[in-house]
């Protein structure tokens, strides 16, 4: 089992030993389209984004749907300026959005990992109807995030949702029981402190299956003999989990956490539908701020700059994570050998 | 396997059932809501689409946890508003379907190249693995970091609000994953068949099309599935790059806020229309999803 951090050795060359002229043509033919597309539509826009972020590129109409400006964004007299980046440290909205995004990444992915791990453990038992359960558990992952947002609003609405009704009933019950007014109603979507957690819950509903399925696949690859041996030695269930299952799954866990975290940095659709970034900007993510700046304010230069900030955060996170996970796996190998 | 105690069995199954309930309840809620009259929604939660015999001449809309179902909302979306619903659904289908095709085609070509040939980019000192790593790293690039150039670029090329624009964008986003999975898949294919075909005089291209592609159906299905689902669910680029004509389902849905507040009954029905195709595909091709996830992460 390898992780992102390893670089695989060069695979054995499966092509004919002597490269013919035909081969050298096809060799280029196969790879070129993909490379060309990525250069043209991924690398080039990235460089361009950096360029635009250094200009005062701005839409001049209030109509969201007209993009005035040419490809160089010079159509509206945009000029070179560092203003977008000097604005970054003092833009409290940007700082809030960055903090929220990191909150989603850290808290969200942690929640998803542990619940996903727990569910994978359950599914890895000998149970009846495992296929059915696995199928049901998989469902949320395929739902369009925008739809998850609407479903979430219906679930967490403080007036008409079943959850709200349950909380009201419970409040009445507790009030009658104790004789004191007790309310367990939680303002899921309308409170500055709880709303980000609600977003995490919704995203988790959708993405716990990802963790579950991956970890389950990892668990099923662990040979039964290892468990047998541990049991013969009298290891308790917790001991087996802590000393066998968890360490063996560590590399795949780290990879799953990394992938999910990098995806989480892109979170936008659920938030946009559920809270629209509110209350205030309490739930706004960086990606949301990018498109709001571009669409509502038409400030393309600053939107590009926020995109760059996001990218820098992602790169710092990924580099740090890879360094730490390399150390963890190395220590572990050292410990067990 | 050690025999479980009765108590842990009860715990196990109750946890499983609890989580299954959490997974399924939102679907139940959306389905029932799409059959509720507005009054039945706004009065607070009602659960069961049935109303018992009540002696009143005009039966009420709700009765305790029961409500009287109606198909009006479905009729509204599928008959009255048919043109709109069909158009946005079709837009989604075109954007997702065509971009999925290109991602699979170009991705499998590059994957095949990386698996069967030896590349060396002298200037960068890159070999196959470096190239593959560079390609997969593009998958983690946040699209928000490149959305502004896309906007300006597409504006100049008159690709805003067109199918072509969305197809292009989605192909780019799906390509890295496609290359990665397909390379992995081709690595696991034995090379003997190709070699004998080559001995019989087939060109590389013929070998690829006639021998390799038919053998790689599982890999292709995995890639197609993931690409399609991604493009079908994508929101940010669809929002930024379309205005009226080429709007896809998620953008249409997210923008459906009227002055009367959210009309939950329409939202629910529309949401179901949007998610059902993907869920059906996903259910039938379940094992490919697991395989794709595993390939993406285990080898990743």
pLDDT digits (tens, 9 = 90+) for A4-13: 444 444 444 4
Q: Which of A87-96, B53-62, B230-239 has the lowest mean pLDDT?
A: B53-62
The pLDDT confidence band at residue B39, using thresholds 50, 70 and 90, is: confident
CB contact under 8 A, A31 and B114: yes
Instruction: Please provide the average confidence, as pLDDT, over all residues in chain A.
Output: 85
CA atoms within 13 A on the CB side of B206: 10
Q: Is the Cβ–Cβ distance between B268 and B30 less than 8 Å?
A: yes
Q: What percent of chain B has pLDDT over 70?
A: 91
Question: Residue A49: which of A293, A313, A285, A303 has the closest Cα?
Answer: A303
Domain boundaries, chain A: 99-336
**Which among B2, B23, B149 is the nearest to A231, CB-wise?**
B2
Q: Is the pLDDT of residue B253 over 50?
A: yes
Stated length of chain B = 300
Strand intervals (E) in B116-218 = 120-121, 126-127
Q: Is the Cβ–Cβ distance between A74 and A51 less than 8 Å?
A: no
Distances (CA, A) of B53 to A81, B62, B70, B241: 73, 12, 17, 53
Interatomic CA distance for residues A310 and B1, integer angstroms: 49
CB contact under 8 A, A154 and B26: yes
> Distance between the two ends of chain A, CA-based, in angstroms?
17
**Closest chain A residue to B165 measured between Cα atoms?**
A41
Q: Is the pLDDT of residue A311 over 80?
A: yes
**Token digits for A151?**
């479903």
Phi and psi for A42 in degrees, rounded to 5? -130, -50
Q: Is the pLDDT of residue A234 over 80?
A: yes
Query: Cα dihedral angle (A269, A273, A274, A277), rounded to 10 degrees?
Result: 80
CB contact under 8 A, A26 and B205: yes
The pLDDT confidence band at residue B81, using thresholds 50, 70 and 90, is: confident
- Name chain A contacts of B150, Cβ cutoff 8 Å: 41, 45
Beta-strand pair B66-67/B120-121: unpaired
Q: Is the pLDDT of residue A14 over 60?
A: no
CB contact under 8 A, B204 and A205: no
Q: Is the pLDDT of residue A1 over 50?
A: no
| Backbone φ/ψ region at A235: left (φ over 0), alpha (ψ -120 to 50), beta | beta
Give, as one character, the DSSP assignment of residue B206: H
Residue range A11-23: mean pLDDT, rounded: 57
DSSP string, A99-160: HHHHHIIIIIHHHHHHHHHHHHHHHTS--TTHHHHHHHHHGGGGS-HHHHHHHHHHHH-TTT
Residue range B288-294: mean pLDDT, rounded: 78
Interatomic CA distance for residues A252 and A232, integer angstroms: 27
Q: Is the Cβ–Cβ distance between B44 and B65 less than 8 Å?
A: no
Residue range B236-244: mean pLDDT, rounded: 88
CB contact under 8 A, A38 and B175: yes
Q: Is the Cβ–Cβ distance between B111 and B185 less than 8 Å?
A: yes
Residue A288 pLDDT = 93
- Name chain A contacts of B147, Cβ cutoff 8 Å: 290-291, 294, 303, 307
Residue B259 pLDDT = 59
Candidate ranges A67-81, B19-33, B37-51, B279-293; pick with highest mean pLDDT: B19-33
Q: What percent of chain A has pLDDT over 70?
A: 88
- The helix or strand, by DSSP H or E, that contains position B218, with its residue range, turns out to be helix B217-233
Stated length of chain A = 337
Residue A63 pLDDT = 65
Q: How many helices (H) and strands (E) does chain A have?
A: 15, 0
User: CB contacts < 8 Å between A and B, how many?
Assistant: 302
Interatomic CA distance for residues A2 and A34, integer angstroms: 25
DSSP string, A169-232: HHHHHHHHHHSS-------TTTSTTHHHHHHHHHHHHHHHHHHHHHHHHHHHTS-HHHHHHHHH
Residue range B52-76: mean pLDDT, rounded: 73
B111-168 pLDDT, tens digit each? 999 998 888 888 888 988 899 989 988 888 888 889 988 888 888 888 889 999 999 9
DSSP string, B149-190: HHHHHHHHTT-TTSHHHHHHHHHHHHHHHHHHHHHHHHHTS-
The pLDDT confidence band at residue B199, using thresholds 50, 70 and 90, is: confident
Residue A5 pLDDT = 43
Interatomic CA distance for residues A160 and A286, integer angstroms: 31
- Name chain A contacts of B125, Cβ cutoff 8 Å: none
Domains in chain B (CATH in brackets) are 6-73 (no CATH), 80-298 (1.10.3720.10)
Burial class (CB in 10 A: 0-12, 13-18, 19+), A194: middle
- Name chain A contacts of B93, Cβ cutoff 8 Å: none
**Which among B148, B155, B250 is the nearest to A49, CB-wise?**
B148
**Which among B138, B151, B275 is the nearest to A42, CB-wise?**
B138
**Closest chain B residue to A305 measured between Cα atoms?**
B145
Residue A337 pLDDT = 40
| Backbone φ/ψ region at A206: left (φ over 0), alpha (ψ -120 to 50), beta | alpha
Candidate ranges A5-19, B50-64, B190-204; pick with highest mean pLDDT: B190-204
Residue range A219-247: mean pLDDT, rounded: 89
Residue A65 pLDDT = 61
Residue A74 pLDDT = 61
Q: Is the pLDDT of residue B72 over 90?
A: no
**Which among B45, B175, B208 is the nearest to A160, CB-wise?**
B45
- Name chain B contacts of A122, Cβ cutoff 8 Å: 12, 15-16, 19
The pLDDT confidence band at residue A110, using thresholds 50, 70 and 90, is: very high
Measure CA A329 to chain center.
Answer: 23
Residue B54 pLDDT = 57
Q: Is the pLDDT of residue B56 over 70?
A: no
Q: Is the pLDDT of residue B200 over 90?
A: no
Residue A3 pLDDT = 45
- Collapse the DSSP code of A82 into the 3-class scheme (helix H, G, I; strand E, B; otherwise coil) and give the result: coil
B258 forms beta bridges with B261
**Token digits for B119?**
């590349």
Residue B14 pLDDT = 94
CB contact under 8 A, B129 and A7: yes
Q: Taking CA B132 as the corner, what is the angle to CA A15 and CA A315, rounded to the nearest 5 degrees? A: 170
Burial class (CB in 10 A: 0-12, 13-18, 19+), A62: exposed
Interatomic CA distance for residues A192 and A194, integer angstroms: 6
Handedness of CA A186, A187, A193, A195 (dihedral sign): positive
**Token digits for B127?**
């070999």
Q: Is the Cβ–Cβ distance between B240 and A294 less than 8 Å?
A: yes
A127-139 pLDDT, tens digit each? 888 889 999 999 9
Interatomic CA distance for residues A216 and A249, integer angstroms: 10
Interatomic CA distance for residues B234 and B239, integer angstroms: 9
The CATH class of A99-336 is: mainly alpha
Residue A15 pLDDT = 45
Handedness of CA B235, B238, B239, B240 (dihedral sign): positive
Measure CA B141 to chain center.
Answer: 19
Residue A16 pLDDT = 44
Residue range A201-227: mean pLDDT, rounded: 91
User: Which residue, among A147, A189, A225, would best test binding to B if mutated, counting the most B CBs under 10 Å from its CB?
Assistant: A147
Q: Does A278 touch chain B (CB under 8 A)?
A: no
Residue B300 pLDDT = 41
CB contact under 8 A, A255 and B44: no
Burial code (b: 16+ CB inside 10 Å, e: under 16) for B166-201 equals bbbbbbbbbbbbbbbbbbbbbbebebeebeebbeee
Q: Which of A157-171, B84-98, B169-183 has the lowest mean pLDDT?
A: A157-171
H helix intervals, B34-162 = 38-42, 72-75, 82-116, 128-137, 147-156
Q: Which residues contact A93 (CB under 8 A, 6 or more apart)?
A: A281, A284, A289
């Amino acid at each position: 089992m390898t992780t992102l951090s390893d670089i695989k050795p060069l695979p054995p060359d499966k092509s004919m030993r002597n490269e013919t002229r035909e081969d050298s043509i096809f060799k280029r033919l196969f790879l070129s389209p993909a490379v060309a597309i990525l250069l043209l539509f991924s690398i080039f826009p990235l460089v361009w984004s950096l360029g635009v972020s250094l200009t005062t590129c701005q839409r001049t109409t209030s109509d969201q749907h007209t993009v005035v400006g040419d490809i160089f964004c010079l159509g509206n007299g945009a000029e070179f300026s560092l203003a977008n980046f000097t604005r970054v440290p003092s833009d409290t909205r940007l700082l809030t959005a960055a903090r929220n995004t990191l909150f989603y990444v850290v808290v969200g992915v942690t929640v998803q990992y542990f619940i996903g791990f727990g569910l994978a453990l359950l599914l890895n038992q000998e149970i009846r109807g495992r296929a059915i359960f696995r199928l049901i558990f998989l469902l949320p992952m395929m739902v369009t995030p925008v739809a998850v947002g609407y479903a979430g609003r219906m679930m967490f609405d403080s007036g008409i949702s079943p959850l709200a009704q349950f909380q009201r009933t419970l409040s009445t019950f507790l009030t009658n029981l104790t004789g004191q007014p007790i309310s367990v109603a939680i303002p899921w979507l309308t409170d500055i402190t709880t709303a980000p957690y609600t977003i995490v819950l919704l995203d988790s509903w959708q993405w716990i299956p990802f963790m579950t399925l991956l970890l389950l696949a990892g668990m099923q690859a662990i040979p039964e003999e290892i468990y047998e041996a541990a049991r013969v030695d009298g290891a308790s269930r917790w001991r087996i989990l802590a000393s066998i299952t968890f360490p063996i799954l560590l590399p795949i866990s780290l990879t799953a956490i990394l992938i999910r975290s990098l995806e989480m940095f892109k979170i936008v659709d659920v938030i946009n539908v559920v809270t629209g970034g509110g209350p205030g900007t309490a739930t706004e993510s960086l990606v949301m701020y990018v498109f709001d700046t571009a669409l509502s304010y038409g400030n393309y230069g600053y939107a590009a700059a926020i995109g760059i900030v996001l990218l820098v955060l992602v790169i710092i996170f990924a580099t740090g994570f890879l360094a730490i996970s390399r150390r963890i796996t190395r220590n572990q190998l050292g410990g067990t050998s | 396997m050690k025999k479980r105690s009765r108590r842990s069995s009860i715990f196990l199954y109750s946890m499983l059932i609890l989580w299954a309930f959490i997974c399924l309840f939102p679907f139940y809620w959306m389905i029932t809501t799409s059959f509720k009259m507005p009054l039945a929604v706004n009065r607070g939660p009602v659960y069961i689409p049935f109303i018992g015999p009540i002696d009143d001449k005009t039966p009420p809309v709700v009765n305790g946890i029961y409500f009287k179902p109606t198909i009006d909302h479905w009729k509204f979306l599928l008959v009255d508003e048919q043109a709109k619903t069909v158009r946005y659904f079709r837009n989604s289908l075109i954007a997702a379907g065509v971009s999925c095709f290109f991602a699979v085609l170009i991705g499998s070509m590059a994957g095949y190249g990386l698996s069967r040939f030896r590349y060396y980019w002298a200037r960068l000192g890159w070999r196959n693995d470096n190239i593959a790593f560079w390609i997969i790293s593009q998958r983690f690039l946040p699209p928000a970091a490149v959305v502004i150039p896309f906007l300006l670029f597409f504006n100049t090329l008159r690709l805003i609000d067109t199918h072509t624009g969305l197809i292009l964008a989605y192909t780019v986003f799906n390509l890295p994953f496609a290359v990665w999975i397909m390379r992995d898949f081709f690595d696991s294919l034995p090379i003997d068949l190709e070699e004998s075909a080559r001995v019989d005089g087939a060109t590389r291209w013929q070998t690829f099309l006639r021998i390799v592609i038919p053998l790689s159906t599982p890999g292709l299905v995995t890639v197609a599935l993931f690409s399609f689902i991604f493009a079908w669910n994508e929101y940010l680029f669809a929002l930024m790059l379309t205005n009226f004509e080429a709007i896809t389902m998620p953008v249409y849905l997210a923008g459906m806020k009227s002055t009367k507040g959210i009309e939950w009954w329409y939202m629910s029905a529309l949401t179901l229309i949007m998610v059902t195709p993907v869920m059906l595909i996903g259910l039938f091709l379940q094992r490919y999803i697991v395989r794709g996830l595993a390939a993406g992460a285990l080898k990743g």
